[in-house]
Amino acid sequence: MEHFDFSLVDWSRLQFAMTAMYHWVFVSLTLGLALIVAIMETIYVRTNNEEWKRLTKFWMILFGVNLALGVATGIILEFQFGTNWSNYSWFVGDVFGAPLAIEGFMAFFLKAAFIAVMFFGWNRVSKQFHLLSTWLVAGSVCLSALWILIANAWMQHPVGMQFNPDLARNEMINFWAVIFSPVAITKFFHSVAAGFVTGGVVVVGISSWFLLKNRHKESARKSILVGAIVGVAGLVITMVSGHFSGQHVARTQPMKLAVIEGLYEGEKGAPFSVVAFGKSTNNPDRPYEQDVTALKIPKLLSFMATHNFNAFVPGIVDLIEGNEEQGIMSAYERAVRGRVAQDALKGLKNAKGADPEEYARLRALFEDEVWLNEYFVHFGYGYFYDDDPAVFTQNIARLVPNVPLNYWSFRIMIGLGFLFLAVLALVGWWAYKDKLDGNGKKHLYRLALLCIPLVYVSTWAGWAVAEVGRQPWAVQDLMPTFAGTTSEMSVGAVQTTFFVFVVIFTVLLIAALKIMFAQIKKGPKEG
């Protein structure tokens, strides 16, 4: 590991994370508003009530601003795979590139084809065709998310591919396995539903501002009805899909589950910790170990992970040091086996064209299912191997993601989710009963307005769990993040572009907010 420039790795990661966070600000609201706008226009077409048409146009403008900036930041995000992460891009081959290419050709062009009709087709096409265009745009937004999340899910749980040792890259052999990976399916529903929650919270929050200002009260009531229904439905979907996602994590990324729960020593009937605080033991042989004090709910974690209250859930120590009784191989042994696979790949490269017999022998290993399952599946762990035991221990400690960040991010996400559910349900019920007036309700309207920034905190926390929780892996068990950077780039170049992007994205965000605030102050146009 000593030949990797970790300063370059850290700055590249920081730049990608910053771009992704800005991107998600726009994407999450785009997902939610697309559905809300389509529902409102559907009501307008069915009832011919002009109020619903005004609401559709009002929220459509906010949707358009977010869509445009989401596309702009998304393009920069994808460019970074080629500029900052070229080794990663080569290693993942067409397995990662294919979903992104399909997203560009299918979903992007679908949006481009109907977005003009959606925004400028009023009174130029029939109501039914305009409504169809709006739903197609809304569907294309979800379709874009689908392909991107399929690519991300493959990084979390690589399936449907075969490693080509001659090219040192992965090649897709089962397109449908990649598409219908259980991890991809749950990730899609969870992330898109989180966008629905964002849209619902923003619509209800802005509508609550109208009520506080005693403006557009009927428009606010109608908007709250739709926003609350979409938001609550999104929360239900995120909770259900989040549960199943947790079970996939337990099977495919047990270290992520362990750090999310702050679980160091695995056990049967593992408890779920409501809150926990850890303190390092300062043990040089176990630099990853902490003493944890926690408030726990007995056996709940085992049930959440396996639907069995008495099932064994491995902890961080089990995954690092192994647990023979539970059939868990130590990270040290996995690193040794991974180094064997890496040496075989290096030997094959050196033997190619120079030693046909040795090349044929090594090439045969990469076609041997037994050898692949015993050695190549641990390929990424080989980067952590070192002949010096002390260095080896320090390297292995890198396999443990940031425990406090993951632990508290998960609980922030969950806690805010229940807050949104309570606020949306209560305000939505008042709107349904047409009982939104009353000074005693102003505190809840202010809380609904406060939920707008909090919903972004919640979604960022969720992505922190998903992405920081899988560190140090760019591709789970096969490629650590530090091996995926573009080694030819300088740290200075990445630092410069980082600050340039910060300035550009901040200016774009301020511009978007100014446009949106101006539109909100105007409110839905009358007449």
Task: For residue 294, list its beta bridge partners.
Answer: 276
Query: Which residues, in sequence order, are CB contacts of 232 under 8 Å at separation 6+?
Result: 200, 421, 424, 425, 428
* Residues 285 and 149 reside in one and the same domain: no
Q: What is the pLDDT of residue 372?
A: 93
Q: pLDDT tens digit string along 26-45?
A: 999 999 999 999 999 999 99
Say if CB 174 and CB 127 are below 8 A apart: no
Work out whether strand 312-313 and strand 272-280 pair parallel, antiparallel, or are unpaired. Answer: unpaired
Q: What is the pLDDT of residue 316?
A: 93
* Residues 393 and 422 reside in one and the same domain: no
Query: Which residues, in sequence order, are CB contacts of 81 under 8 Å at separation 6+?
Result: 88, 89
* Residues 337 and 413 reside in one and the same domain: no
With respect to residue 171, please indicate whether it lies within any of the assigned structural domains. Answer: no
Half-sphere exposure of 494 (CA within 13 A, CB side): 26
Strands (E), 99-230: 161-164, 169-172
Strands (E), 222-355: 267-268, 272-280, 290-297, 312-313
Tokens of 298: 């007995």
Report the 10 Å Cβ neighbour count for 128.
9
Say if CB 157 and CB 183 are below 8 A apart: yes
Query: Which residues, in sequence order, are CB contacts of 331 under 8 Å at separation 6+?
Result: 319, 320, 321, 322, 381, 384, 396, 399
Tokens of 92: 């993942």
How far is residue 5's CA from residue 74's CA, in Å, rounded to a whole number? 27
Tokens of 499: 């600050």
How far is residue 494's CA from residue 49's CA, in Å, rounded to a whole number? 54
Q: What is the pLDDT of residue 2?
A: 60
- Name the stretches of the chain with pLDDT < 50: 527
DSSP one-letter code for 270:
P
* Residues 94 and 242 reside in one and the same domain: yes
With respect to residue 174, please indicate whether it lies within any of the assigned structural domains. Answer: no
* Residues 36 and 133 reside in one and the same domain: yes
* Residues 34 and 86 reside in one and the same domain: yes
* Residues 418 and 463 reside in one and the same domain: yes
200 closest CA partner among 434, 464, 458, 451: 451
With respect to residue 107, please indicate whether it lies within any of the assigned structural domains. Answer: yes
**Locate tokens 């406090």: which residue?**
404
* Residues 368 and 447 reside in one and the same domain: no
* Residues 395 and 408 reside in one and the same domain: no
How far is residue 525's CA from residue 527's CA, in Å, rounded to a whole number? 7
State the total domains in the chain: 2
With respect to residue 169, please indicate whether it lies within any of the assigned structural domains. Answer: no
With respect to residue 170, please indicate whether it lies within any of the assigned structural domains. Answer: no
473 closest CA partner among 215, 50, 8, 152: 152
How far is residue 218's CA from residue 58's CA, in Å, rounded to a whole number? 14
Among 340, 375, 400, the domain-final residue is 400
Of the chain, the end-to-end C-alpha distance in Å amounts to 67
Q: What is the pLDDT of residue 527?
A: 41
Question: Residue 399, Cα to own-chain centre: how many angstroms?
Answer: 20
Among 368, 400, 432, the domain-final residue is 400
Q: Where are the alpha helices (DSSP H) in 366-478?
A: 369-374, 389-397, 403-432, 442-468
With respect to residue 141, please indicate whether it lies within any of the assigned structural domains. Answer: yes
* Residues 191 and 327 reside in one and the same domain: no
Among 364, 381, 400, the domain-final residue is 400
* Residues 209 and 290 reside in one and the same domain: no
Task: Work out the mean pLDDT of the chain and round it to a whole number.
Answer: 90
Instruction: Considering only CA atoms, give the Rg of the chain.
Output: 25
12 closest CA partner among 492, 509, 477: 492
Cis check: omega of the bond before 472, within 30 degrees of 0: yes
Say if CB 276 and CB 407 are below 8 A apart: yes
* Residues 227 and 78 reside in one and the same domain: yes
With respect to residue 142, please indicate whether it lies within any of the assigned structural domains. Answer: yes
With respect to residue 442, please indicate whether it lies within any of the assigned structural domains. Answer: yes
Q: What is the pLDDT of residue 1?
A: 66
- Helices 109-120 and 50-83 pack at an angle, to 10 degrees, of 150
Domain region containing 327: 261-400
